[in-house]
Structure 1
Amino acid sequence: MKPEKHAKAFGNDVKAFMDGVSATSGVLGRSDNQPCKDDSECGGMQCGIRDAALFEPEPQCSVEKHGVTFNVLDIKGLISQVYNGASVGTVFTGARYDGDDDSRAVDSFGRFTDAARRDLGPGDFHIAFSNIMGKHGKSFVIDTSADAPVWNQPVRSYNVKTVEYYSPEEAASKYFGGRSYPFNDKAKNVAYVATDIAWIFERDAAAPYVPNRVDEATHYVLELDDNDQIIGGEWLGDSRAEHPDFLWFPTSKAASDTVTTFGLANSDVQELLKLSVACGATPDPTAPPTPTPSPTPKPSSTPELSPASGSSSGSAASGSTSSGSALSGNDTSGSATSGSSNNNHPQSTSL
């Protein structure tokens, strides 16, 4: 984004506007910092970008305002700046790990001894995507890496590929090398689950669509009660170290009357965005999604986990999304914290 473009097009003082952007999210605001030596020392504006990706439609083409041309990346940058300065409520679950990435301290089962590095737990993870995305067709944001650097990315889709049921004793023998299940004595059944999760990452190409999707396979067991409701779980194999660190989502769009501290008005940015969206041949992102039928569960006295897939129904400023199906037999909710803040999301430490 080139802030001088917006200042010229909307009649702002160019130098004052550029200095305001820099003081908020650029070099003037970090003049006392030392140059980054690696990714772990770098900071970014990921929260504003991710909020915008979940709520705003995808810019489609360059537009002109008062003789100034704004390309797709310019518009995305302006949207992100608006959300970075907006007061937006959030829902958050999981604890950020901010420890030593070189630590390999694990217990006898290969789990990290630091609880913050073990979470987000697979129980909360499975409940979140199957309800938020599978049932409600909405997206959310994950820190894609369980180590200290934060890589906030909007989730595009999931695919539950495998569900296998075991007794606690069978699961203990198969996955943990023991006779009795060692983690949760309230578990009456244990389900092995393989799920692929896909998220969107940022690209620097000024085009309406650029391939920008990452897929990750996760493997875990879910601990189930007498009614096959999820009460916990454990990561397996490589997923012990490679799983989301935390999960969050904004509860609303930036208010239409939002104005950032350096004078960027959401109404001005929405004017550019509306023009850019109108020139594309994409469907209206606010149109209701077409439901995809859920897998039909087998007759059972209790709900049953089933392989299923889903994706978000809204559009993202970083990529396209579509509607998806609910996960059969899962109607539970996970723990989360919520609140309203001025972009009070987990601190991003990497671009």
Structure 2
Amino acid sequence: MSDSSYSDGAAAQPATRPEQTAPRLMLKGITKQYPAVRANDDVTLIVAPGEIHAVLGENGAGKSTLMKIIYGAVRPDAGEIQWEGEAVDIASPAAARKLGIGMVFQHFSLFETLTVGENIALALDEPFDLKALSKRIREVSADYGLDIDPQRHVHSLTVGERQRVEIVRCLLQNPRLLIMDEPTSVLTPQAVRKLFATLRRLAAEGCSILYISHKLDEIQELCDTATVMRGGRVTGHVTPKQETHASLAQLMVGHSLPDYTRREHNPGAVLLDVKALSVASDDPFGTSLENVSFAVHAGEIFGIAGVSGNGQAELLSALSGEKRGLRADAVTICGKPAGR
């Protein structure tokens, strides 16, 4: 972002909103009907300059459809969009970017075999010089604590680094509204902290943030205001820090959540035994398994945690027999070798 457009706000400071009579973004009566479902039903949303505004709801509540309407990727059937006090028709993502709206999607749209600089160049609407663009990428990424090498190929990046590429791509276009769709779903806790610091700085500089999530802890920590959705409709406009998990959850699901108590666990016999399982990935961008060992007992709910892309898919292929291992005894099911 250019120094002429924004002031130097510290990342740890709360967002300061420039004085402006009109909201940055206002949606009135937005409706979108698909053949089997009404994704958005008479939705109203107001976002102020410099505000981090959450759109909160369960999966299928209509959050992503609404964001795609704002970004011009989906056309609404009814309703009005106002941008800085004027009615606008956002016919395409290019039109949204021209207004100053950027979006980082939940599923990244990057080409694995291209470099960071080449991926960013593909998203620009104006002519560019790749050498000059690489310099800008380094400057902007370093300025916002999102250091990324424009010469690296995307297939060599971690998930958190790939998200940095998407954010820097938006920042190069000087957005006045940045949409983040489920941005922490694939991030480690450390990467989440870095992301929050970046978003707070952007808000302090006057950029509005639309933050889509269903994670209540994150919403309460980061966001100034929240619009809660359920079944395509708005169920409330709240200040997250003044709400409890229970009150936010009730707005999301329409009823109080039941209380769960952890049952006593008495493990039975070992039904699945994995011993030093190593399987090379056929995918050049996949993750090979190295000496994976664990045991699953009868009557047990066994969890496998990790950020997406760290071998979960490869492990499932090895356990299901889709990918044959080198040793039959590496996977034992009900006492019988099944690794081959």
TM over 0.5: no
TM-score interval for Structure 1 and Structure 2 normalised by the shorter chain: under 0.3
Q: If you compute each CA radius of gyration, which structure gives the higher value, 1 or 2?
A: 2
Question: TM-score of the superposition, structure 2-length normalised?
Answer: 0.20
Tell me which of the two structures has the higher relative contact order, counting C-alpha pairs closer than 8 angstroms and 6 or more residues apart: 1
